[in-house]
Amino acid sequence: MKKSGLAVGVLLLFFGNTILCGQEINGELKKWHKVTLNFEGPETSEQADDNPFLNYRLNVTFEHSASGKSYIVPGYYAADGNARNTSADSGKIWKVHFAPDETGNWNYKVNFKKGKWAAVRTSEELKSVEGDSLTGKFAIAESDKTGRDFRGKGRLQYVGERYLKFAETGEYFLKCGSDAPENFLAYDKFDGTFQNDGHKDDLVKTWEPHLKDWKEGDPTWQNGKGKEIIGAINYLASKGMNAFSFLTMNIAGDDQNVFPYVDYDTYDRFDVSKLDQWEIIFEHADELGMFLHFKTLEFENQGLLDNGGTGLYTKLYYRELIARFGHHLALNWNLAEETGDWTETPPTFPLDAVERIRLAEYISSVDPYNHHLVIHNGAWYDEIYGPNTKFSGASLQTNQEDFSNVHPWTLKVLQEAKAAGKVWAVACDEPGDHRHSLIPDAEDPEHDNARKNGLWGAMMAGAWGTEWYFGYEHPHSDLSCQDYRSRDLFWDQGRICLEFFKNNKIPVWDMESYDSLISSEGDYVLAKTGESYVVYLKNGGSSILDFGDSDNEYNIHWYNPRKGGELLQGKIKSLNGPGKQSLGNPPKERDKDWVVWITKKS
């Protein structure tokens, strides 16, 4: 059997009193790390008459021997087990990825069945196949990862609050990164026929400008392939970004080069080697601390599978995504882009509210880790708010060139969701409009509107982050961009924003939007009243903050959102409540935007 990854031990699988040797467990046997169970099952192929993706169902139950905590994790067909390097489309290796969240001994049991449409059926009236009922155990040690590596932080979870939280460290996560290009995965070094299948082949990417960002020791496949796309992620991480997004299917969309299938027209057979190569990218992202935003359906693809319903092909698609990539620690599943927002008569039906809810329920039933579930707005969110749906947040898109509706729309969603009975975690993932949004540095090196109204506008409303779209009317657009350096100056501003909240330990999870407390119209306030206040002054100057009935004494510091650095002091270094108090002027460049950090003295 060909091995994939780092084999650190031989796994003994017990079936009754018989020990079946030769099975493997790959990966580092540590908490939060990817542990892969490989075993030999039925020998088959991508094109076998008895479809290995649809007519087989592999689930493995992992149970911690001490706590009793258990997970049912879906598995998948892996050809020869090393398809990323061999491009194999046949073999007898099946895999299950697991990310253990406790140290100590884990037991597992394999449930491996076959039958018509077995993969998407819950019935147990199916035939057992080779490997069914195998059991075994392994021991997990503590992780040794530190820094940005997510394996040192644990799984990023929705915890019923506005911000996602790491399970290991308890740290809340704020993100900033790229929402474009949407066809990030249309990379010419991936296996498949999308490069020359006649569907917009001119949009296939080389990522050549980022070859210089690949580093010795970084992953590749097939004798050096992958350096350019790995370099692209390296570059974003080097700029302090911690998120990027990508479509996993756009067969009927603008690009038409990204899909998980063996070809453009077959929706029940997956390209094993291409998906295995995608996994190399996502594994590297974990190590760099890069959040994975899975955009699973493009606007034009909402009716492609099952006419927009949660039927056989839709279920199979999401099950395969979850089986292959659900073990990653920091991700969200975005169910669709601009869902329900059809501007012209479509050839098939859009994903309506009932189907959005049904699809979210299905994904939650398959995903053992309960990852954050979001959806793009097209039709608004009214019908999917509340505790009776599985949605835990919004991936918000706005539509103004100057980003002026980012702040009010973020507030709107947060307030409406809370009023409906469930606090959502909201990120503004497409601030701006489709024509312009974040334009290249060459056209707008200052990015004033993007910074003031978009970046800080979202964060000061209580969003957990932003991702940045590249408008169609400019070079390096959402389809054509192959060089993230086209927005190099803005990534600095995003990093500066994240550093303010992180380095100063701003307790955003305890703060709310109180814009009415500041005298200057259009400025932002995020506060825990009587305790701490973050004030964003778009145009600097002297403003008055209303402390209400609080008679506490406060320290005042200033932060430059354009240049970053240490907190500064102005002429007024402290003040006392209650009532309305002047904050004084910024320490310099008084007509520019500034952040004021006001904290109660101990």
The H-or-E segment that residue 546 falls in is: strand 544-546
Q: Which pLDDT does position 378 carry in this prediction? A: 83
pLDDT class of 351 with cuts at 50, 70, 90 = low
Backbone dihedral region of 447: left (phi > 0), alpha (psi from -120 to 50 degrees) or beta?
left
Q: What is the mean pLDDT of residues 502-523?
A: 97
pLDDT class of 350 with cuts at 50, 70, 90 = low
CATH class label, 7-140: mainly beta
Query: By percentage, how much of the chain surpasses pLDDT 90?
Result: 88
pLDDT class of 228 with cuts at 50, 70, 90 = very high
**And the tokens for 464?**
């957990």
Domain 510-600 has CATH 3.30.870: no
Q: What is the mean pLDDT of residues 366-372?
A: 98
pLDDT class of 499 with cuts at 50, 70, 90 = very high
pLDDT tens digit sequence for 546-598: 999 999 999 999 999 999 999 999 999 999 989 999 999 999 999 999 999 99
Burial class (CB in 10 A: 0-12, 13-18, 19+), 430: buried
Ordered alpha helix ranges (H), 420-524: 448-449, 456-459, 488-503
Cβ-proximal residues to 110 (8 Å cutoff; 6+ apart), any chain:
13, 39, 58, 59, 60, 131, 132, 133, 134, 135
Residue 351, classed as helix, strand or coil, is coil
Query: Of the candidates 587, 461, 450, which has an alpha carbon nearest to the alpha carbon of residue 524?
Result: 461
Give CATH 2.60.290 domain extents, the chain: 510-600
**Whether residue 13 has pLDDT greater than 50:** no
pLDDT tens digit sequence for 231-267: 999 999 999 999 999 999 999 989 999 999 999 999 9
**Whether residue 230 has pLDDT greater than 90:** yes
Q: At residue 113, what is the residue type?
A: K
Q: Which pLDDT does position 105 carry in this prediction? A: 98
- CATH architecture assigned to 150-503: Alpha-Beta Barrel (3.20)
Specify whether the CB–CB gap between 289 and 173 falls below 8 A.
no
pLDDT tens digit sequence for 137-185: 999 999 999 999 999 999 999 999 999 999 999 999 999 999 999 999 9
Specify whether the CB–CB gap between 74 and 96 falls below 8 A.
yes
DSSP string for residues in 556-581 = EEEE-TTT--S-B--S--EEE-SSEE
Exposure class string for 124-151: b at 16+ Cβ within 10 A, else e: eebeebebbebebebebeebebeeebbb
Q: Which pLDDT does position 337 carry in this prediction? A: 87
**And the tokens for 248?**
């996993």
- pTM reported for the whole predicted model: 0.95
What is the C-alpha separation between 208 and 225, in angstroms, rounded?
12
**Whether residue 19 has pLDDT greater than 50:** no
Q: Which pLDDT does position 4 carry in this prediction? A: 35
Q: What is the mean pLDDT of residues 303-332?
A: 96
Give CATH 2.60.40.10 domain extents, the chain: 7-140
**Whether residue 1 has pLDDT greater than 50:** no
The better pLDDT of the pair 24, 226 is held by 226
What is the C-alpha separation between 505 and 562, in angstroms, rounded?
19
Query: Of the candidates 175, 315, 191, 340, which has an alpha carbon nearest to the alpha carbon of residue 245?
Result: 175
Cβ-proximal residues to 487 (8 Å cutoff; 6+ apart), any chain:
178, 438, 440, 441, 468, 470, 476
Up-side HSE of residue 282: CA atoms within 13 Å toward CB?
Answer: 23
DSSP string for residues in 241-275 = --EEEEES--TTSSS----SBSSTT-SS-B-HHHH
**Whether residue 286 has pLDDT greater than 80:** yes
pLDDT class of 524 with cuts at 50, 70, 90 = very high
Q: Which pLDDT does position 303 carry in this prediction? A: 86
pLDDT tens digit sequence for 78-127: 999 999 999 999 999 999 999 999 999 999 999 999 999 999 998 878 99
pLDDT class of 192 with cuts at 50, 70, 90 = very high
What is the C-alpha separation between 228 and 206, in angstroms, rounded?
7
**Whether residue 56 has pLDDT greater than 80:** yes
Q: What is the mean pLDDT of residues 28-37?
A: 97
pLDDT class of 3 with cuts at 50, 70, 90 = very low
Handedness of CA 450, 452, 453, 454 (dihedral sign): positive
Mean pLDDT of the chain: 93
Q: Which pLDDT does position 340 carry in this prediction? A: 63
What is the C-alpha separation between 43 and 79, in angstroms, rounded?
8
